[in-house]
Structure 1
Amino acid sequence: MSQKKNVVHLTTVHHPFDTRIYHKECLSLKEAGYDVTLIAPVDEQTKDQAEASKLNILPIKKHRNRWKRMLLGPLEVYKKAKKLKADVYHFHDPELIFVGWLLKTNNNKVIYDVHEDYYTSIMQKDYFAEPIKRIIGKLYNRIERFLIKRMELCLAEKYYHDRYGRGESILNYPIVNEKLINKEIKHETTNEQLLYTGNVSEVRGAYYHADIPKIMDKHVYFVGKCPSDLADKMKEHAGVKQDFLHFDGIDQFVEREVIDNYYINQNWVAGLAIFPATEHYVKKELTKFFEYMSAGLPIICSNFPTWQAFIDKHQCGIAVDPENPQEWIDAVEFLQNNPIEAEAMGYNGRKAVLQELSWESQEKKLVSWYEQLLTK
């Protein structure tokens, strides 16, 4: 670039060190020569880390109350972002869509980073009654369709093209961790530990995974943010086997390095993603798939058509019926009793990540896309 361009990433929802926003997109753009600022919620726990980070992080207040965050957060973000007069504003939350619209001028670019299918996400919120969800969902669709006309779209999933009909796919492939990639893939018949990484919620199979100790005496480790009340309910669900459930991340964000250390420092039978069938997830290729593959872990996941096709293509795990626990048992027992086949799945997954499913490929797309936008 002949002149250093000013880029501002905006979020009211995500942790300042969110993997996609901070570690992937922001640091990649900084490395490519952009002047990158991140506006994100910072509290006392993250204040010192934010001040010492590789980026310029402008803090906004972290609101514990959802409604305060949705009302006050965008206002604070807009005030700070407008002063920066950026060449590119790149926002990550649907509640910032009005902010993005207000920031758009003839002299800048505004990018809406679509992390989720927000319509189906609204439809599965358990704190809204069914009629209210339908009204909010339809209203959101109309507002979004109108406001994004002058924005660029950054899509975290391939199938989001079906919804929007345009946009640049910057997929959530993992950053290659050399320690992780170089770890020996070894499956032992005596291993009794299963791993789940990422946020824990009911729609992500919390109770399905909590069933596992009851039906097969296996320890399940959850590494990712989990509400304390949900963790308590999961333990109740596991009954006398509740001590077989282990949590790292109750009511708090889990740093990228902590998750990677679980992959590196322990051996696991498999990485789990046994989700109930919901419209929101059946077409998604989960980020945890790529991470499990990078770590050399076989995947045990629900047999939704998209997920089954992914497993079949890469030969990296076993897809099971989420409503048939016997299939879960059979999958775990197969991996335990057939270490050579389990290790082959691990190597297949890792090979796919190194050849085509790593962040390196998406980083090149992101930087090239920015250059195109800024030279138009």
Structure 2
Amino acid sequence: RICMLTTRHSPLDDRIFYKEAVSLKRVSSEIKIIAPYCRSRQIVNGIEIWGLPPEAKSQCFLWSNLYQKALRAKADVYHCHEPDSLLVGILVKNRQKAKLIYDCHEYHPEIFARRFPEKLQPFVGVVAYWAERLLCKKAVYVITVCQELAEKFRRWGNRVQLVENYAIRWPDKGFSLSISRTDLGIRPEESVGVFVGGMYRERGIYQMMDAIRILRGWGRKVKLLLVGPGVKGFLESAKAYAQAKGIAQGVVFTGKVAFTEIPSYLAMADFGLVMDYPERRKLNTVAVKVFEYMQAGLPIVASDLPANRRIIQTEQCGVLTDPLRPEKIAEAVALVLKKPDLGPKMGRRGREAFLRKYNWDQAEKRLLAVYRDL
């Protein structure tokens, strides 16, 4: 019996549900996910979801609720996705015989420190670093998504397995979606750049919009398709920015869409955009959207960061640029669109590389190996 614990993610998070939980059905007939959710209990694809109140009055209330439900789950393995859910897992482990897995797919100390005033961030980061180090000693395995994190946990003496956040292979026939470019106000002659994922300032959304404004100023018929939700208030701010800059007609916001609809939105595009700012936590991790763009056969215009560089230069599937300079982003997009055969060639190379090695089927083998080794 496997029970996943998370305090920060939706139970239907792409990695937690669609990748890991679905894959773990191969080794377990009983899988539960306890997470903040709008329903108290639901079964999806044979996986049981136990919801925590998403708007908990306090963090202590959330932890208490998680602890009580985790005890009731009576699992053999508790698979924890954050340091605080790992702490809850440790408390449960002390009450019953169970094994703990810590699945670290974020730079948690850095993320936690950013909630505090800038002067306090170094101190808070150090405290969070040591807290994570102490907690993860109780896990029989640490799973992570990139080599830098894997090396950190190996230095701490943990057994570590790298399970990259590669994209799931879509059905050969794709997913049906009753929407078209015309429905989104995209004309046949317009080239479309797409961004998929959660939106906030450090994802380079404003720079992308400015790049589209520059391209349209150069006479390029191009539109930006932004697919996904924003953090609180961000979409409203981004729409107001587009209006103020006079490019509202050149930007389409879809809001949150179902996981199964993403391939159809990518099918409308001519190139994919990944403009993460050069923050430390972004330097060595590759956004899952890179692999989704590769699967869709789209050329990629991405931030020139080490992790992106390793894949995009190696596979020759896109162009790297400075994510903080809209004119450089515009030049990179213009390069991809300039020669009719360049973008499609990059897209084909990316898709071939995805099918060969950057898909979830490959990462799944390493996840299942962890559970078979318990």
More helix by share: 1
Residue in 2 that maps onto 1:3: none
* Deviations 1:199-223, CA, capped at 9 Å, x for gaps: 1111111221231232112321111
- Counterparts of 1:15-164 in structure 2, within 5 Å, are 15-43=10-38, 50-63=42-55, 68=57, 70-105=59-94, 107-123=97-113, 125=114, 127-151=115-139, 152-164=141-153
Checking the alignment, whether the CA contact within 8 Å between 1:193 and 1:221 is kept in structure 2 is yes
Residue in 2 that maps onto 1:214: 213
Checking the alignment, whether the CA contact within 8 Å between 2:83 and 2:135 is kept in structure 1 is no
Instruction: Name the SS of the counterpart of 2:229 in structure 1.
Output: strand
TM-score between the two structures when normalised by the length of structure 2? 0.87
Letter in 1 for 2:170: N
Residue 252 of structure 2, aligned match among 230, 243, 246: 246
Within 1, Cα distance between the matches of 2:356 and 2:214? 37
Within 2, Cα distance between the matches of 1:180 and 1:204? 31
Judged with a 3 Å threshold, the aligned counterparts in structure 2 of structure 1 residues 193 and 31 are, in CA distance, closer, same or farther, namely same
* Deviations 1:264-299, CA, capped at 9 Å, x for gaps: 4x1x22111122221121121111111110111111
Structure 1 unpaired stretches of 5+: 1-5
Letter in 2 for 1:205: G
Within 2, Cα distance between the matches of 1:287 and 1:180? 21
Give the superposition deviation at 1:228.
Answer: 5.4
Letter in 2 for 1:347: R
Checking the alignment, whether the CA contact within 8 Å between 2:215 and 2:334 is kept in structure 1 is no
Checking the alignment, whether the CA contact within 8 Å between 1:308 and 1:319 is kept in structure 2 is yes
Give the superposition deviation at 1:192.
Answer: 2.3
Checking the alignment, whether the CA contact within 8 Å between 1:158 and 1:171 is kept in structure 2 is no
Letter in 2 for 1:90: H
Instruction: Name the SS of the counterpart of 1:112 in structure 2.
Output: strand
Residue in 1 that maps onto 2:196: 197
Give the superposition deviation at 1:181.
Answer: 7.3
- Percent identity over the alignment is 28
Letter in 2 for 1:357: Y
Instruction: Name the SS of the counterpart of 1:150 in structure 2.
Output: coil
Within 2, Cα distance between the matches of 1:259 and 1:22? 16
Within 1, Cα distance between the matches of 2:328 and 2:188? 19
TM-score between the two structures when normalised by the length of structure 1? 0.86
Instruction: Name the SS of the counterpart of 2:320 in structure 1.
Output: strand
Letter in 2 for 1:176: R
Asked whether 1:259 is paired with 2:258, we answer no
Give the superposition deviation at 1:90.
Answer: 0.3
Give the superposition deviation at 1:81.
Answer: 0.8
Residue in 2 that maps onto 1:176: 169
Structure 2 unpaired stretches of 5+: 177-186, 217-221
Instruction: Name the SS of the counterpart of 2:36 in structure 1.
Output: strand
Checking the alignment, whether the CA contact within 8 Å between 1:97 and 1:144 is kept in structure 2 is no
* Deviations 1:298-320, CA, capped at 9 Å, x for gaps: 11011123322321101110001
Checking the alignment, whether the CA contact within 8 Å between 2:174 and 2:263 is kept in structure 1 is no
The size of the alignment, in residue pairs, is: 351
Within 2, Cα distance between the matches of 1:320 and 1:39? 40
Judged with a 3 Å threshold, the aligned counterparts in structure 2 of structure 1 residues 112 and 352 are, in CA distance, closer, same or farther, namely same
Checking the alignment, whether the CA contact within 8 Å between 1:17 and 1:255 is kept in structure 2 is no
Provide the alpha-carbon RMSD of the alignment.
2.4
